[in-house]
Amino acid sequence: MKITGFENNIPESEITPKSVYLDRRKFMQQAVASSLLLSVDVMLPAWAKQWPDLKSSPYSTADSVNSFEDITTYNNFYEFGTGKKDPYKNATQFNPKPWSIKVEGECEKPGTFDLEDFINPATLEERIYRLRCVEGWSMVIPWVGFSLADMLKKFEPHSKAKYVEFTTLLDKSRMPGQQRRVLRWPYVEALRIDEAMNELPIMAVGLYGDILPNQNGAPIRLVVPWKYGFKSIKSIVKIRFTEKQPQTTWNQTSAKEYGFYSNVNPTVDHPRWSQKKERVIGLPFWKPKRDTEMFNGYSKQVAHLYKGMDLKKHF
């Protein structure tokens, strides 16, 4: 029997072999170099062909990536439950199509746009970033996305636009976690405009070469690699340019624990968790923790944004 709404789901049997994706990708590249493309092409499953010509980004970390299983079964996405496995279990029926994004506030070209208007396969890149969660763990994810700055410039922000705010879908029938008041819905996040215009943040529409799994924020989410994971808001439906600093969900929930900036900083502890080290998801429990790096390793690209600021006060 065919159940409607499930057509877009990838069968379990196609998900598991994704852990070998990177090896296969390397093999593909070698094969292309030796013009064996045709024979290799026949071997590739459908999922590997979503965006076959992804450029790799110079900002990618060289650290080894987590498995597809780690990345898609250990998530924070409270719209689908508060447990780490809840989004994997509860987001399977979520259908992120059709999808549109409203752009409003201090800009010359506001409007409502289809997701397709944002995705230009020619500008998509693979960016491998380490996601550092404030809870004290991290993992490395091969995102597919495009520059946030390039996207924002198209709306021609006014000089009054000092911040940019992002909002997740509000729909408690499609996002059952919103039936519980664990957070004030919808989830909202924001960046200062100069942070948003930095070269590092991306809008991600995929990972491991394929479209974004629901539990990772389908169909489109933010990724800001020098900030704690919660700034990287999922399933975005609205972008707003503002003059005043927006209220953000976690800051509103507990201002003492979650500051507006939320830069990865091993010298400023969260009241409940040290930020000096992080547990790398996927490693055996007896392996030592990893030292957390200032700005998650991106000081060169972002330290200048905070010149003269007391980062203990503006955490």
Ligand X SMILES: Nc1nc2c(c(=O)[nH]1)N[C@H]1C(S)=C(S)[C@@H](COP(=O)(O)O)O[C@H]1N2
Residues engaged in binding ligand X (CB under 6 A): 75-79, 131, 133, 168, 187, 216-217, 229-230, 232-235
C-beta of 157 vs 217, nearer to ligand X? 217
User: Does residue 234 contact residue 77 with C-beta atoms inside 8 Å?
Assistant: yes
Phi, psi dihedral angles at 173 (to 5 degrees):
-80, -30
Q: Both tokens of residue 197?
A: 């215009």
User: In whole angstroms, what is the distance from residue 23 CA to residue 214 CA?
Assistant: 24
Q: Does 229 bind Mo ion (CB under 5 A)?
A: yes
Rounded least distance, CB 212 to Mo ion, Å: 17
CB nearer to Mo ion: give 66 or 147: 66
String of contacts with Mo ion for each residue 31-70, x by CB under 5 A: ----------------------------------------
Considering only the stretches 49-57, 133-141, 198-206, 274-282, report the one whose residues sit in contact with Mo ion under the rule CB under 5 A. Answer: 133-141
Q: Which residues pair with 206 in a beta bridge?
A: 144, 211
Q: Are 105 and 240 in contact (CB under 8 A)?
A: yes
Nearer CB in complex with ligand X: 230/295: 230
Residue 239 interacts with which of ligand X, Mo ion, none, CB < 5 to 8 Å by class: none
Q: Burial level of 165, CB count in 10 A (0-12/13-18/19+)?
A: buried
Q: Supply the minimum distance, in Å, between the C-beta of residue 137 and ligand X.
A: 9
CB 234 within 8 A of CB 145: no
List the single partner that 77 binds among ligand X, Mo ion, none, CB under 5 to 8 Å by kind. Answer: ligand X
Residues 6+ apart with CB under 8 A from 96: 214, 218, 219, 235
Please state the closest distance from residue 314 (CB atom) to ligand X, in A.
20
Strand ordering across the sheet containing 163-168: 111-114, 100-105, 236-242, 163-168, 188-192
> Residue 131's binding partner, choosing from ligand X, Mo ion, none, with beta-carbon cut-off 5 to 8 A by kind?
ligand X
Of the two residues 216 and 292, which places its CB atom closer to ligand X in the complex?
216
Residue 2 or 272: which CB sits closer to ligand X? 272
Cα torsion angle, 200, 204, 210, 214, sign? positive
Q: Name the residue nearer to ligand X (CB basis): 75 or 251.
A: 75
Residue 232 binding target from Mo ion, ligand X, none, CB below 5 to 8 Å by type: ligand X
Question: Would you say 110 or 136 has its CB closer to ligand X?
Answer: 136
- x/- letters, 69..108, toward Mo ion (CB under 5 A): -------x--------------------------------
Rounded-to-integer distance, Cα 103 and Cα 176, Å: 26
Phi/psi for 153 (5° steps) reads -60, -30
Query: Which listed residue (124, 133, 220, 236) binds Mo ion by CB under 5 A?
Result: 133
Q: How far is CA 306 from the centre of its chain?
A: 23
Question: What residues line the site for Mo ion (CB under 5 A)?
Answer: 76, 133, 229-230
